[in-house]
Amino acid sequence: LPEPTIAAAPGAAPGAVFESDFLRACFRRPVTRTPVWIMRQAGRYLPEYRALRERHDFLTCCRTPELACEITLQPVRRLGVDAAILFSDILLPLPGMGVEVAFEPAPRLARAVRSAADVDALRVADARETQPFVQEAVRLLRCELKVPLIGFAGAPFTVASYLIEGGGSRTFSATKQLLFSEPALAHWLLVKCADTVASSLVEQVRAGAQAAMLFDTWSGVLAPEEYREFALPYARRVLEAVGRARAVPRIYYAGESAGHLEVCAGVGAEVIGLDWRQDIGEARRRLGPALAVQGNLDPAELLGPPDRIRRRVAEILGGARGPDGRALGHVFNLGHGVLPDTKPEHAQLLVDAVHELSAGRP
Instruction: Based on the residue annotation, tell me whether 89 is a catalytic residue of this protein.
Output: yes
> Do residues 264 and 239 lie in contact, with contact meaning Cβ atoms separated by under 8 Å?
no
Look at residues 76, 51, 52, 50 and name the one whose alpha carbon lies nearest to residue 64.
Answer: 52
User: Looking at 29, 78, 89, 279, which residue is catalytic?
Assistant: 89
Burial code (b: 16+ CB inside 10 Å, e: under 16) for 121-137 equals ebebbebeebbebbbbb
Pick 103 or 188: Cβ nearer ligand 1CP: 103
Instruction: Based on the residue annotation, tell me whether 246 is a catalytic residue of this protein.
Output: no
Instruction: Based on the residue annotation, tell me whether 252 is a catalytic residue of this protein.
Output: no
User: Looking at 24, 53, 114, 236, which residue is catalytic?
Assistant: 53
Pick 153 or 328: Cβ nearer ligand 1CP: 153
Name the residue whose CB lies closest to ligand 1CP. 168
Longest dimension (CA), the chain: 63
The minimum distance between CB 199 and ligand 1CP, in angstroms, equals 18
Omega prior to 296 cis, within 30 of 0: yes
For residue 171, give the DSSP letter.
S
The minimum distance between CB 251 and ligand 1CP, in angstroms, equals 12
Pick 328 or 338: Cβ nearer ligand 1CP: 338
How far apart are the C-alpha atoms of 234 and 240, rounded to whole Å?
10
How far apart are the C-alpha atoms of 321 and 224, rounded to whole Å?
28
The minimum distance between CB 118 and ligand 1CP, in angstroms, equals 20
How far apart are the C-alpha atoms of 71 and 83, rounded to whole Å?
14
User: Looking at 24, 33, 63, 162, which residue is catalytic?
Assistant: 162
How far apart are the C-alpha atoms of 84 and 76, rounded to whole Å?
6
Instruction: Based on the residue annotation, tell me whether 216 is a catalytic residue of this protein.
Output: no
Pick 89 or 182: Cβ nearer ligand 1CP: 89
Instruction: Based on the residue annotation, tell me whether 44 is a catalytic residue of this protein.
Output: yes
The minimum distance between CB 85 and ligand 1CP, in angstroms, equals 5
The minimum distance between CB 138 and ligand 1CP, in angstroms, equals 13
Look at residues 205, 97, 207 and name the one whose alpha carbon lies nearest to residue 153.
Answer: 205
Pick 90 or 269: Cβ nearer ligand 1CP: 90
Geometric angle at alpha carbon 355, from 353 and 358, rounded to 5°: 95
**Footprint of ligand 1CP (CB under 6 A):** 40-44, 53, 58, 85, 87-91, 103, 105-107, 152, 168, 215, 217, 336-337
Active site residues: 40, 44, 53, 89, 162
